[in-house]
């Protein structure tokens, strides 16, 4: 079953309930009459958990409003709104695991690839609305577990390739390439996490008691940062002692990024982290004021030697 034919058959299903630009109006509305299919799903869903939101999943993981009604209940609803059995089938468009693997996941896989490898400012020719729709339909049809597994596997494989590329980098390019890899990944998460918001809300948070963003940051920590921290830190300390060996922005991005990934890494180089993360070092004491003054004078001399004037 391809996506185009599925759109024709299932236009009144779960996807149709996303109607405002932020996809928050799950129940439809904003002054327009609800299509027949949406009214059917809305009425079958029963009371909402809150304004504009569907009820939380049942114990078996099926979203209310996306699950088929009970046998007797289906007949009553169908009779009430004057639809026949063929219309019921039209509304409850089923996505099989084969449909998911052949039609839905390939679309998601391609979009994730582009987001993970884009450079800042790149135009990504993907339809965010289509990706939202794919994710939402799969969540409604109980494919959240498979989709989450596929997403984690996809990103893990990508990060393992990134790690191998970093291992092959010469020392003079190592810091800059690590900075690019970190920035590129964190930038990709700003798009990937919102695209999978429905899976996060109704599967990861509800069933796994976790958060998608935290899980994906942990992947970078485990598959990239942990493998490179002991090579990276000496290079950062060396660059710190040699002014302008790398740009201040690069140093700041990496240090702040490492602190976000694992705050305890501060202990490896407290003085370095303290330059970019506030309140890392203990408060200054009067007995060390002369040492602080000497450090400031040394920095001023280094700046002057590199062409900076007061």
Secondary structure class of 50 (helix, strand, coil)? strand
Residue 134 and residue 6 in contact, taking contact as beta carbons nearer than 8 Å? no
Check if the beta carbon of residue 211 is closer than 8 Å to that of residue 222. Answer: no
Greatest distance between any 2 Cα atoms in the chain: 87
Give the Å distances, CA to CA, from 182 to 40, 163, 167, 300.
Answer: 46, 11, 15, 31
Contact 223, 230 (CB under 8 A): no
Q: What is the pLDDT of residue 119?
A: 78
Q: Report the C-alpha gap between 50 and 250 in whole angstroms.
A: 45
**Domain residue spans in the chain?**
97-302
Provide CATH code, domain 97-302.
1.20.1310.10
Measured distance CA(187)–CA(14) in Å, rounded:
29
Q: Which pair of tokens denotes residue 1?
A: 């079953």
Per-residue pLDDT, 126: 78
Distance CA 54, CA 134 (A): 18
Tens digit of pLDDT per residue, the chain (310 long)?
454 444 444 444 444 444 433 333 333 333 444 443 444 344 434 444 444 444 444 444 444 444 444 555 555 544 444 444 444 444 457 899 999 999 999 999 999 999 999 876 676 777 888 999 999 999 999 999 999 999 999 999 999 999 999 999 998 899 999 999 999 999 999 999 999 999 999 999 999 999 999 999 999 999 999 999 999 999 999 988 887 788 989 999 999 999 999 999 998 888 889 888 887 776 655 566 677 567 666 656 665 665 545 5
The 8-class DSSP code of residue 206 comes to I
Q: What is the pLDDT of residue 292?
A: 59
Do 77 and 44 contact (CB within 8 A), yes or no?
yes
pLDDT of residue 296: 61
């Amino acid at each position: 079953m391809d996506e185009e034919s599925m759109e024709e058959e299932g236009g009144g299903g779960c996807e149709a309930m996303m109607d405002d630009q932020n996809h928050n109006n799950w129940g439809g509305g904003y002054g327009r009459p609800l299509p027949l299919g949406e009214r059917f799903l809305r009425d079958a869903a029963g009371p909402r958990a809150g304004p504009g939101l569907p009820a939380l999943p049942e114990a078996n993981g099926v979203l209310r409003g996306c699950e088929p009604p009970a046998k007797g209940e289906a007949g009553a609803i169908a009779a009430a709104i004057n639809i026949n059995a063929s219309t019921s089938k039209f509304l409850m468009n089923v996505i099989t695991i084969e449909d998911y693997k052949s039609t839905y996941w390939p679309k998601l896989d391609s979009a994730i690839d582009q987001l993970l490898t884009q450079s800042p400012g790149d135009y990504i020719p993907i339809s965010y609305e289509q990706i939202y729709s794919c994710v939402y339909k799969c969540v409604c049809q109980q494919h959240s577990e498979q989709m989450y597994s596929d997403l984690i596997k996809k990103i893990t494989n990508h990060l393992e390739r990134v790690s191998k590329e970093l291992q092959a980098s010469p020392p003079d390019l190592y810091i800059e390439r690590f900075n690019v890899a970190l920035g590129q990944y964190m930038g990709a998460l700003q798009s990937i996490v919102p695209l999978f918001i429905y899976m996060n809300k109704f599967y990861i948070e509800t069933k796994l008691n976790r958060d998608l963003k935290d899980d994906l940051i942990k992947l970078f920590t485990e598959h990239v940062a942990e493998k490179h921290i002991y090579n990276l830190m000496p290079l950062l300390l060396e660059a710190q002692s040699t002014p302008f060996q790398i740009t201040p922005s690069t140093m700041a991005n990496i240090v702040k990024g490492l602190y976000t990934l694992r705050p305890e890494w501060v202990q490896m180089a407290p003085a370095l982290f303290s330059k970019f993360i506030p309140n890392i070092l203990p408060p200054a004491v009067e007995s060390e004021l002369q040492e602080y003054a000497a450090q400031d004078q040394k920095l001023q001399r280094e700046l002057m030697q590199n062409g900076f004037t007061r």
